[in-house]
Amino acid sequence: MTASEPAQYAVFGQPVAHSLSPRIHNAFARQLGIALEYRPIESSAEGFAAALKKFADLGGAGANVTLPLKQVAAKACASLSDRARRADSVNTLSRSGDGWHGDSTDGVGLIRDITSRHRLFVRGRRTLLLGAGGAARAVAFALLDAGVPELTIANRTPERADALADAIGQPKRVHTRYWDDLGNWGAFDLLINATSAGHGGAALSLPSSLLAPRAVCYDLSYGKAAFGFLAWARSVGAEHALDGLGMLIEQAAEAFELWHGQRPDTDALYAELRAYVPGNAED
């Protein structure tokens, strides 16, 4: 890279071709008059270290990672922020000397979307977290910080839910449940789908007994991947059924500020993307 070329940024994932992150970061850059290039790079978990090295050799300054790379990315970093270390999940990498510094902006993105954009409270809501992968780990800590009194974690592979609960280390507040025992979990005020099931077209089969009156259901995905969970949420009477488009934009704004030192406005971009990403009937 020469001094006249714009700084290079990328999002790594699999699949990543349809990611909205390039569009979001390019829109923020235009808004704030910052020159950069941001592109998608397809990478498997196995190929991530080599792909990241190649990107660094070509002058890469920063990167986001999406599924299924958030825990792999944490291992690839030379240093981690406190929130990335405790979650063992990284979605934002910044070049630091010869290595990378990893951070996790998913949790703050979720909380900002729920509380600032949708003007709903998190504090006091008994919460069910479905999934225990990289995205789930990042949001679990943020939900506890935001004041959920009880967090129940359920994952198809129970060992990963147990590992997350152990990492959090608050046994009075955080419980795990077996996926096969869904009907006996009780009722929740906030249900978060952090599984990637929708990306593979798989439908989660969930009982209506999971919803307390006036429950909020939130899928960390957006677009087609969120359809199944949100359709279920509406059909069983959730007061709000929200997709993760707003979280995507908010986590990107946080990453953008880490890289460029300026915070973009997100409302106009949310309205623009919402117009063609169907999801929240209430928007």
Binding residues with ligand ATR: total (CB under 6 A): 19
Both tokens of 56, joined, read: 């660094």
The verdict on 156 binding ligand ATR (CB under 6 A) reads yes
Please report the DSSP string for 233-261 in residue order.
HHHTT-SEEE-THHHHHHHHHHHHHHHHS
Helix (H) or strand (E) holding 215: strand 211-219
From residue 83, alpha-carbon distances to 34, 80, 250 in Å are: 27, 8, 16
Residue 96 CB, nearest approach to ligand ATR (Å):
23
Residue 159 CB, nearest approach to ligand ATR (Å):
8
Residue 125 CB, nearest approach to ligand ATR (Å):
21
Please give the single-letter amino acid code of residue 116: S
Q: Which stretch binds ligand ATR (CB under 6 A): 17-25, 143-151, 156-164, 245-253?
A: 156-164
Q: Tell me which residues in 84-103 interact with ligand ATR (CB under 6 A).
A: none
The verdict on 195 binding ligand ATR (CB under 6 A) reads yes
The verdict on 193 binding ligand ATR (CB under 6 A) reads no
In the list 136, 226, 238, 249, the residue contacting ligand ATR (rule: CB under 6 A) is 136
Any idea what DSSP says for residue 128? Answer: E
In the list 196, 251, 266, 280, the residue contacting ligand ATR (rule: CB under 6 A) is 196
Q: Tell me which residues in 104-133 interact with ligand ATR (CB under 6 A).
A: 131-133
Q: What contacts 201, CB < 8 A, 6 or more positions away?
A: none
CA gap 155, 201 in Å, rounded: 18
Q: In the annotation, is 70 catalytic?
A: yes
Residue 88, phi-psi category: left (phi > 0), alpha (psi -120 to 50), beta (remainder): left
Both tokens of 217, joined, read: 């259901």
The verdict on 157 binding ligand ATR (CB under 6 A) reads yes
Residue of 70, 75, 172, 224 with catalytic role: 70
Q: State the binding string over 202-231 for ligand ATR (x if CB under 6 A, else -).
A: x-x---------------------------
Q: Distance between alpha carbon 266 and the CA centroid of its chain, in Å?
A: 16
CA gap 167, 159 in Å, rounded: 12
Residue 76 CB, nearest approach to ligand ATR (Å):
14
The verdict on 139 binding ligand ATR (CB under 6 A) reads no
Residue 153 contacts residue 127 (beta carbons within 8 Å): no
Q: What contacts 188, CB < 8 A, 6 or more positions away?
A: 125, 126, 127, 128, 152, 210, 211, 212, 215
Q: State the binding string over 29-68 for ligand ATR (x if CB under 6 A, else -).
A: --------------------------------------xx
Among residues 140 and 216, whose Cβ is nearest to ligand ATR?
140
Residue 178 CB, nearest approach to ligand ATR (Å):
12
Both tokens of 242, joined, read: 């929200």
Which positions are catalytic? 70
- Applying CB under 6 A, the residues found at the interface with ligand ATR are 67-68, 70-71, 131-136, 155-157, 160, 195-197, 202, 204
